[in-house]
Amino acid sequence: MEGAQAVREAQRHGRVREVFVTEAAATRHPDLLGPAPAWITERAAASLSDTVTPQGIFAVCDLLDVPLARALAGAPQLVAVCVGVADPGNAGTVVRVADAAGADAVVLAGDTVDPHNGKAVRASTGSLFHLPIARERDTAAALTTLVADAHGELDLHDPAVAPVLAGPVAWIFGGEAHGVPATVADGADHRVRVPIHGRAESLNLATAAAVCLYASVGARRIRSRPDE
C-alpha cells in the first residue's frame, strides 16, 4: 500500500511487514520509518506507484479480508454490502463511509473489486483497517437486507420506513453502471430509494451509501431516546 495515512493506520494495527521509503518521504514522515526501512530512489517509487505524484512511502502488509462468518460475528447491527462494484475508488470510499457511520462490517460480494487494490486502499484513508472486510459470492442473509434502488418501493425519507432502518440491516449497493443485480434485488427484504428533489440524474455510489448508512444511524438514535 502507498501513502502516509495508509501506512500510519497499518502500523497502528500491527499489519506491516516492511516499509519502503525515499529520502524525501523519510524527512516528511520520520515517525513512519520503523526499525529497519528499505530505502528506495524516487525512480523506484514512481515505478511502484500508480499515482501521478508518488508519496514516496510504501508498506507491505498482511491481507485484510476475513471469512464472512467472522465479519458477521457478534450480532452486527449495520453492514454495508457492495455487489459488483468495479471502481476501486468507490469501493474504498464505501469502506470509509461505513467506518464513519459506525458500521460493523463491509462485505464485498460477487465480482466486486479487490479491497487490497491500491486505489481502494487510498480511498479508504485507513478505514480498511478499522472494521472487518469480507469477500463473499453471496450477500449477508443473516440480516434484514435493504437494496439501495432508485426505483425502490420504499422512500428513504418516509417516516414509516424508520422502524426498518433502525433494526439490524445490511445495506446493499450495486455497481456503478448497472446497480444491484436483479437476482439480488429480488431476494432482498426491501428496496429503498433515495429521493431526488432537484434535477440531478442520480447520486453516485459512494454518496448514496453515505446517505443510506447515516439514515440507519439516525433512525437507531431516535429509537434509543427515552420517551419525553
pLDDT at residue 139, rounded to an integer: 54
Buried b (16+ CB within 10 A) or exposed e, 94-133: bbbbbbebebbbbbbbbebbebebbbbbbbbbbbbbbbbb
Enumerate residues 6+ apart whose C-beta is below 8 A from 141.
none
pLDDT at residue 19, rounded to an integer: 96
Residue segments in the chain with a per-residue pLDDT below the cut of 70: 138-142, 226-228
pLDDT at residue 143, rounded to an integer: 73
pTM for this predicted structure: 0.90
- Average per-residue pLDDT for the chain: 91
Tell me if 92 sits within 8 A of 119, measured CB to CB: yes
Q: pLDDT digits over 91-136, tens only? A: 999 999 999 999 999 999 988 999 999 899 999 999 999 999 999 8
d(CA 138, CA 152): 21
Name all domains of the chain by residue range, CATH numbers in brackets.
Answer: 4-61 (no CATH), 68-224 (3.40.1280.10)
Enumerate residues 6+ apart whose C-beta is below 8 A from 64.
15, 115, 116, 128, 129, 133
pLDDT at residue 227, rounded to an integer: 58
pLDDT at residue 200, rounded to an integer: 92
